[in-house]
Amino acid sequence: MMELLFNVYKHSRRLIVHVTTRTITIQSSAFSRLAEVGRLEAPKSQGKYDTGQLFLHRVFGYRGVVLFPWLARVYDRDVPNKKDSNQAESNSFNHVGKEVKGRTHTYYQVLIDSRDCPYIRAQTEAVTFLGNQESSRSLYAIPGLDYVAHEDILPYTTTEKHPLSHELFDKFLMYYPDKDPPFGAQETLRAWQKKNHPWLELSDVHKETTEHVRVTVIPFYMGCRESQAASVYWWRYCIRLENLGDLTVQLRERHWRIFSLSGTLETVRGRGVVGQEPVLSKQLPAFQYSSHVSLQAPSGHMWGTFRMEREDGYTFDCRIPPFSLESKSDESSPPSGVI
């Protein structure tokens, strides 16, 4: 069994994970005492993690717990397409991107430890939904929910009965000392999953790398807001940027193209993303955020670029992989609350 030393340097606004031959310990600041958290287990190369599995995020370093898995189709433009070599090259760069063969992969719905939320480079209120009042255009957010790929899970064990700080932890999970992991789903979690499945569902993931910067996009359909004038369809999309190279890069601008089935094509340009121009370095290689888009048509697609500036002054356009915006029939009414 591997063991891990886990330090949280809050004064530097980041989480740093160190792997040593000790137990997992957590430090609330550079000058406070270390407190033991648990022991790292060997990550699973195959199979799935069970509900209640505690983990550290491999990239962002936060503590979390698995709620349930999703089986997604991953469209990775970095993976060579094993099609007939005589096929036209242009077909591999279609706007929608579904000609890139999708490979199924496991992602997990997780809770993030609220003590770690202020110090990670990812939005922690990214899971949003529409209110259930037809006259309202409000979007509501649930804090501390995330989607994590199987390979980003670093599982660990602990003897604590309340190892994670999140308002939903005790509502969704119960401690079972004889189980492995010792936390199992309560009926409230199963009911919540069933009720909110339509807007929680993760189905497609799109990836592409430019100049050692990988962009991952996960779109979610949120539902339709109907009025006498028009029907407005809403999606949210989660974007993760990760620097796979040695040189530091900074995101300077965004350039989006949004096509609607109604025939409209919108161009959006602006500085940074969500009010930031994140720096991606060897020490802090990743940044994740979410945003929303609406169309007056049941489907469309988006694509674009991020203008990146490298530490040596070189600038380049990092491609955002094209992804579909697809509506689906509402299986249930939009949720009016978390539970």
pTM of the full structure: 0.84
Q: Which residues contact 141 (CB under 8 A, 6 or more apart)?
A: 125, 126, 127, 128
The structural domain count of the chain equals 2
127/266 same-domain check: yes
Asked whether residue 335 is assigned to any structural domain, the reply reads: no
182/251 same-domain check: yes
DSSP 25-67: EE-SSTTSPPEEEEEEPPPPSSS-PPTT-EEEETTT--EEEEE
Smallest CA-to-CA distance from 110 within 36, 168, 156 is with 168
Q: Which residues contact 316 (CB under 8 A, 6 or more apart)?
A: 210, 211, 307, 308, 310
222/153 same-domain check: yes
32/56 same-domain check: no
CATH of the domain at 112: 2.60.40.1470
Domain assignment of residue 31, given as a range:
1-40
pLDDT tens string, the chain, 339 residues long: the values are 333 444 433 333 444 444 454 456 555 444 455 667 788 999 999 899 999 999 999 999 999 999 999 999 999 999 875 554 444 444 444 445 556 888 999 999 999 999 998 888 887 665 666 655 444 556 667 789 999 999 999 999 988 888 999 999 999 999 998 888 999 999 999 999 998 888 888 999 999 999 999 999 999 998 888 877 888 999 999 999 999 999 999 999 999 999 999 899 999 999 999 999 999 999 999 999 999 999 999 999 999 999 999 999 999 999 999 999 999 765 544 444 444
**Residue 27 CB coordination number (10 Å):** 17
Q: How far apart are CA 250 and CA 308, in angstroms?
A: 6
Asked whether residue 267 is assigned to any structural domain, the reply reads: yes
Q: What's the pLDDT at 132?
A: 55
32/55 same-domain check: no
Is residue 181 reached through a cis peptide bond, with omega within 30 degrees of 0 on the bond before it?
Answer: yes
Q: What's the pLDDT at 334?
A: 47
238/141 same-domain check: yes
Asked whether residue 339 is assigned to any structural domain, the reply reads: no
50/34 same-domain check: no
The region, left, alpha or beta by phi > 0 then psi within -120 to 50, assigned to residue 336 is: alpha
Q: How far apart are CA 93 and CA 95, in angstroms?
A: 6
Distances (CA, A) of 239 to 121, 160, 220, 262: 12, 34, 12, 25
Q: What's the pLDDT at 208?
A: 97
156/21 same-domain check: no
34/101 same-domain check: no
Q: What's the pLDDT at 225?
A: 83
Asked whether residue 336 is assigned to any structural domain, the reply reads: no
Asked whether residue 332 is assigned to any structural domain, the reply reads: no
Asked whether residue 241 is assigned to any structural domain, the reply reads: yes
User: What stretches of 159-313 adopt beta strand conformation (E)?
Assistant: 173-175, 183-185, 204-210, 213-226, 231-243, 249-260, 265-271, 279-280, 286-295, 299-310
**Residue 272 CB coordination number (10 Å):** 15
Q: What's the pLDDT at 131?
A: 58
47/34 same-domain check: no
Q: How far apart are CA 104 and CA 243, in angstroms?
A: 24
- What spatial distance separates the first Cα and last Cα of the chain, rounded to whole Å? 37
Q: How far apart are CA 297 and CA 313, in angstroms?
A: 41
Asked whether residue 338 is assigned to any structural domain, the reply reads: no
34/46 same-domain check: no
123/29 same-domain check: no
Q: Are 107 and 69 in contact (CB under 8 A)?
A: yes
Asked whether residue 334 is assigned to any structural domain, the reply reads: no
Q: What's the pLDDT at 141?
A: 72
